[in-house]
Amino acid sequence: DAGITQSPRYKITETGRQVTLMCHQTWSHSYMFWYRQDLGHGLRLIYYSAAADITDKGEVPDGYVVSRSKTENFPLTLESATRSQTSVYFCASQGDRYSNQPQHFGDGTRLSIL
Amino acid sequence: LAKTTQPISMDSYEGQEVNITCSHNNIATNDYITWYQQFPSQGPRFIIQGYKTKVTNEVASLFIPADRKSSTLSLPRVSLSDTAVYYCLVDANTGGFKTIFGAGTRLFVKA
């Protein structure tokens, strides 16, 4: 029962490089989310998706790109990484938003950009 | 957008009841209040959710006054393993998905 998994768990890269963080869920949840967590800021929503091929911006979308060709996958891409994007990234899924089901989170990807 | 305000940190001792209050003055009519718990190196985990009055489950209770401008998470008889960060979340259905997490409350439970 994997639930929601993120990969890699840790990543170090250099400024200007492209990096993709993967998120996979096994519940067939419609909604998926990407957050970043920085000290002093709690969790901030980057992008979300209501279904395959439907994505939209959250609070801090600049510098990120998402796609959702399949319901179970929601990759997050940093096309040209910057040091300010060093953070812990969490993916989450949610079955039915309008019945207020809770979000289920992965264990995060710790990304360091040198 | 209903931003939330929580205490930055709290200390407690094993066996005590802990109450963490969250303020959300601009909560909208359709918003629910959800609390999550987060341990180091893990993602947040759902604890409890409510709309009004009181909700109780096997882990915690959630108290919401009539005006819904605040809520209180109550953890009965905490143990060392309850040391974590607790987030109050108000789901904002208006204007798209603008999920707003508070900064969280870091709870330290001492022996």
* CB-based contact A108 B97, cutoff 8 Å: no
Is B63's Cβ below 8 Å from some Cβ in A?
no
Q: What's the confidence (pLDDT) of residue A1?
A: 53
Q: Any residues with CB less than 8 A from the CB of B4 and at least 6 apart, and which?
A: B22, B23, B24, B88, B89, B90, B100, B101, B102
User: What pLDDT shows up at residue B32?
Assistant: 87
Q: Please indicate whether, in this complex, the C-beta atoms of B99 and A45 are within 8 angstroms of each other.
A: yes
pLDDT below 70 — which residues of chain B? 1-2, 92-100, 102
Residue B20's CB is within 10 A of a number of other CB atoms, namely 20
Residue of A59, A92, A106 with shortest CB distance to B98: A59
Instruction: Please indicate if any CB of chain B lies within 8 Å of the CB of A42.
Output: yes
pLDDT at residue B95, as a whole number = 41
Q: Of residues A13 and B94, which shows the higher confidence score?
A: A13
Residues of A in contact with B106 (CB under 8 A): none
Per the CB < 8 A criterion, the answer to whether B31 and B22 are in contact is: no
Q: Cβ of B46 and A103 within 8 Å?
A: yes
Residue A89 pLDDT greater than 60, yes or no: yes
What are the sequence ranges of the domains in chain A?
A: 4-113
Among A41-45, A108-112, B30-34, B87-91, the range of highest mean pLDDT: A108-112
Q: Tell me if A102 and B42 make a contact (CB, 8 A cut-off).
A: no
Q: Which of B9, B31, B99 should one mutate to test binding to chain A, selecting the residue with the greatest count of A CBs within 10 A?
A: B99
Note whether A56 contacts B97, CB cutoff 8 Å: yes
Please check the confidence at residue A59 and state whether its pLDDT lies above 90: no
- From chain B, pick out residues whose CB is under 8 angstroms from the CB of A74: none
Confidence bin at A114 (pLDDT 50/70/90):
very high
> Under an 8 A CB cutoff, do A100 and B42 touch?
no
Closest-CA residue of A relative to B39 is: A107
| Domains of chain B as residue ranges with CATH | 9-110 (2.60.40.10)
Query: In terms of CA atoms, which chain A residue is nearest residue B8?
Result: A40
CA distance A48 to A44: 11
pLDDT at A99 over 80: no
- If one compares A18 and B96, the residue with the highest pLDDT of the two is A18
- Mean pLDDT computed over A62-79: 96
* Interchain proximity B43–A48, CB inside 8 Å: no
pLDDT value of position B103: 76
Q: Which residue has the higher pLDDT, A54 or B96?
A: A54
For A32-45, what is the mean pLDDT?
87
Q: Which CATH architecture has domain A4-113?
A: Sandwich (2.60)
